Amino acid sequence: MSAAEPLVSVAGLSRVFDVSPPLVTRLLHRSPRRLLRAVDGVDFTIAPERTLGLVGESGCGKSTLARCVAGLMAPSAGEMRFQGKPMDLARRPDRAIRRSIQMVFQDPYASLNPRWRVETSVGDPLLAFGIARTRAQMREQVAALLTDVGLAPDDAAKYPHEFSGGQRQRIAIARALASRPAFLICDEPTSALGVSVQAALLNLMRRLQGEYGLTYLFISHNLAVVDHMADDVGVMYLGRIVEKQPKRHLFDAPRHPYTKLLVQTVPSLETLGRASAPLAGEVPSPVNPPPGCAFHPRCPHADARCRAERPAPVPLPGGGSVACHAVAEGRI
């Protein structure tokens, strides 16, 4: 694989959930099937050792997208290539890919068994993938991983409940790193933590990216966190990426009206925990999204075309793309 080739590329990824009422209720009330488009035709690429940050409000499909890309959930449609090879997204990924793609969740207990000692949680992938051949090797490697994430080798003998939230997330990161992955999908890994703990963990993850040569898909509802971590930023709205740009361009010259609103209300890294000014209007339901551009009920630039026709992404001169009629028409 050449250096210029992306490590990960995703095209047309969608995930629909059937949220219909039970069949009997549907027949009695003659109600139709209800489909929820959580992720709706997402495209992106990530170059090796780079970070794509994805930002968007609650319910816009970030976790669903993360789970599909991690191979934990089958998408309804779409393609993905990893290290230049197509992946069969309908099946559980093979061993080599499971080893190379790891995920860090918001809740460390999603990957840590509370009844396992840290040594077992972190050592399990080492043994499962044959990275450690003996228990002595496993112990040595667990100690090195714990040190790398800022914990002590002696912590291996403890249970998860003996740690703080930030320390537990460090254990979850050590476990994710144990299989020597190339690609780490981080779904709001710090958003349950206090401000100073978040900042320390973000800095740790940046350092580990360099040391382990990791490529990140880094998801957060908080633009300040994404600013700290990402090279490129994608903005999601109701299951779609509405704008994607290199980070500096996105912050200095946001093009999509939704991105502009987000950038105006971005908290600083010091105020991560405090609520930022709320955006005007409610996020519409993905079960019954507005026709045309899904952002039109909240958009100050919406016109008749916006209400009828869904905008396709158009390339931007500095790299990236934006899906907005007003930008494409030169109105804004």
What does the binding site for Mg ion look like in residue numbers (CB under 5 A)? Answer: 62-63
∠ CA 11-13-19, rounded to 5°: 170
Task: Candidates 81-89, 129-137, 260-268, 294-302: pick the segment binding ligand SF4 (CB under 6 A).
Answer: 294-302
Q: Work out whether 56 is an interface residue with ligand SF4 (CB under 6 A).
A: no
> What are the start-end ranges of the E strands in 180-270?
183-187, 215-220, 232-237, 240-246
Alpha helices, H only, the chain: 23-29, 62-69, 95-100, 118-128, 135-148, 165-178, 195-212, 223-229, 247-252, 257-264, 304-308, 325-328
Take residue 301 and report the two structure tokens written for it.
């630039």
Distance (Å, rounded) from C-alpha 101 to C-alpha 97? 6
Q: Work out whether 183 is an interface residue with ligand SF4 (CB under 6 A).
A: no
Distance (Å, rounded) from C-alpha 316 to C-alpha 233? 14
Answer for which of 311, 313, 316, 320 binds ligand SF4 (CB under 6 A) is: 311
- The entry of ligand SF4, ligand ATP, Mg ion, none near residue 108 (CB within 5 to 8 angstroms by kind) is none
Distance (Å, rounded) from C-alpha 243 to C-alpha 237? 9
- Residue 278 Cβ, how far from ligand SF4 at the closest point, in Å? 19
Answer for which of 98, 117, 139, 301 binds ligand SF4 (CB under 6 A) is: 301
Take residue 167 and report the two structure tokens written for it.
């320390």
- Residue 271 Cβ, how far from ligand ATP at the closest point, in Å? 19
Take residue 26 and report the two structure tokens written for it.
């549907």
Nearest to 172 by CA among 227, 95, 116: 116
- Judge contact between 55 and 243, C-beta under 8 A: no
Q: Work out whether 26 is an interface residue with ligand SF4 (CB under 6 A).
A: no
Answer for which of 67, 99, 170, 296 binds ligand SF4 (CB under 6 A) is: 296
Q: What's 269's DSSP letter? A: G
Q: Work out whether 295 is an interface residue with ligand SF4 (CB under 6 A).
A: yes
Take residue 303 and report the two structure tokens written for it.
């016109």
Site for ligand ATP in 204-243 (CB under 6 A): 221
Answer for which of 19, 152, 314, 332 binds ligand ATP (CB under 6 A) is: 19
Q: What's 109's DSSP letter? A: G
Task: Candidates 62-70, 121-129, 261-269, 289-297: pick the segment binding ligand ATP (CB under 6 A).
Answer: 62-70
- Residue 19 Cβ, how far from ligand ATP at the closest point, in Å? 5
Binding residues for ligand SF4 (CB under 6 A): 256-257, 293, 295-296, 299, 301-302, 306, 311, 324-326
Binding residues for ligand ATP (CB under 6 A): 17, 19, 36, 38, 56, 58-64, 221, 286
